Amino acid sequence: MSASPGPLVAPRTRRARTADLVRVLLFAGVVVAHSVNAINSAPDVVRSASLLTTFLHLTRYGFVAVTLFVLVLSTRGRPLSPLAFWRRRFGLIVAPFLVWSVLYSLTDHLVMADNPFPTTGEYFTSLARATVTGDAKYQLYFLLISMQIYFVFPLLAWILNRAGHRPWLLLSAGAAIQIVMFVIYQYLPRPQGPMWALAYEHAWKTLPMYALFVAIGMLAAHHHAAVEDWLRANAGPVIIACLLGSLFSATAYAMSTSSGVVPLSATTPWNPLLLPWLISGLVLLWLVAMAWDDLRGAGRAVGARFVSYATIRAFGVFAVHPLILDVLARVGFMRLVFAWFPHSATIRSTALVIAVLVLSLLVVDLFLRTPVSRWLTARDRIPLVRTAA
């Protein structure tokens, strides 16, 4: 069976630039979230830090939407053979996932303090389990989600081709599936029995947890011209609605932490009360990217070269930044930052974020010049010396 995700209309390239900027911002958000968590564990700052990192759960849902947006747009107007699609796409994500899983299974013992290597049998058993579950490092689960997206995309494209003219039906179905998953994880007790408990432990890494954002990403690409024209025409009311949605989620967080204690239920990525922010935050990011792309399209560069530079390196930074955090912790950088800025959590966080981003970009630039660039950065190798045309 083959399917096409939309009518035979050539996409406008500038829409992909919008997605590029959103993706760069989301990757930056991942670095910020993990850095803030690493540096701000003191009781006097944990509440505000937790609000920031809770809101940065947007990154995982935004990634899903942007991934589907780009996939639909890139295959729009072309026959979609599932086998050809899988053959072309899976290698792009499977190889980096496997390589980074192995690397982190080694560096966690080499770099992190008080974490000696286990026996050979225990090491390979742990590596196999972590590879299957995406737990070799805390960010790698998203590559499992990406593989699921690639695996089911031919089916999703087939559904979109037949039901894309009924967007509210697809959005409602996606919202219903995702809210059910949110309720199960947020409010219902953990299931008993080893098999049910094992499924529960890892089911949040499956697509049903992100179903609404799958629908949002696909429909935004399928109707991209109409959606962006509508957003431009209604930018004021949309921004107000998004600010209200964000305020609702922030108020819910404030009420649940009013005692000064931050319960786990207030910071989970599947809290239904966080959903208004997750949608609002994605829309606001998209509006910012649209405004930037409109300026770029009008001939004003406005950071276009930087966005292109960051787009090529974004995945590599996503992959390597936990290792940079581990190295900085091992060499005592966290202690130094606390000594330099003992009374300002904001400055501490900013200093760590800058250090992690700069070092990650330097390492990724090195990776991009190696023969194994595609395995480490999911990008083609950049020659050490550019030859003249």
- Residues sharing a CB contact under 8 Å with residue 150, sequence separation 6 or more, in sequence order: 71, 85, 86, 89, 90, 93
- Is 386 a domain residue? no
pLDDT of residue 14: 44
Residue 20 lies in a domain: yes
Residue 168: exposure state from Cβ atoms within 10 A (0-12, 13-18, ≥19): exposed
Q: Which residues contact 253 (CB under 8 A, 6 or more apart)?
A: 51, 54, 266, 273, 274
Quick check: is 7 in a domain?
no
pLDDT attached to residue 51: 87
Q: Is 212 part of a structural domain of the chain?
A: yes
- Would 388 be classed as within a structural domain? no
Average pLDDT on 334-351 reads 87
Report which of 22, 10, 120 is spatially closest to residue 74, judged by C-alpha positions.
Answer: 10
Provide mean pLDDT across the span 76-86: 85
Tell the burial category of 151 from Cβ atoms under 10 Å away from its Cβ (0-12, 13-18, 19+): middle
Mean pLDDT to the nearest integer, 175-179: 97
pLDDT in tens, 23-55: 999 999 999 999 988 876 544 445 556 888 999
Classify residue 389: in a domain, yes or no: no
The mean pLDDT of the chain is 89
Residue with tokens 């060499």: 331
Residue 2 located in a structural domain: no
Residue 100 lies in a domain: yes
pTM of the model: 0.90
Mean pLDDT of 292-299: 85
Work out the percent of the chain whose per-residue pLDDT is above 90. Answer: 70
Confidence of residue 12 (pLDDT cuts 50, 70, 90): very low
Instruction: Count CA atoms within 13 Å of residue 145 on its CB side.
Output: 26
Angle in degrees, 0-180, between the axes of helices 304-330 and 82-110, rounded to the nearest 10: 40
User: What pLDDT, on the 0 to 100 scale, is given for residue 343?
Assistant: 79
**What does the DSSP 8-state code read for residue 273?**
G
Among 33-47, 136-150, 321-335, the range scoring the smallest mean pLDDT is 33-47
pLDDT at 136: 94
Nearest residue to 360 (alpha-carbon basis) of 334, 322, 332: 322
Mean pLDDT of 118-136: 94
Query: What value does the mean pLDDT take over residues 196-217?
Result: 94
User: If you average pLDDT over residues 378-387, what whole number do you get?
Assistant: 80
Say whether pLDDT at 262 is over 90. Answer: no
The domain tally of the chain equals 1
Mean pLDDT, residues 153-181: 95
The average pLDDT across 251-275 equals: 90
What pLDDT does 291 receive? Answer: 93
| 107: containing domain | 13-377
- Of 42-56, 187-201, 346-360, the range with the lowest mean pLDDT is 42-56
Tokens of 146: 């990406």
The alpha-carbon radius of gyration of the chain (Å, integer) is: 21
Output the pLDDT for position 44: 45
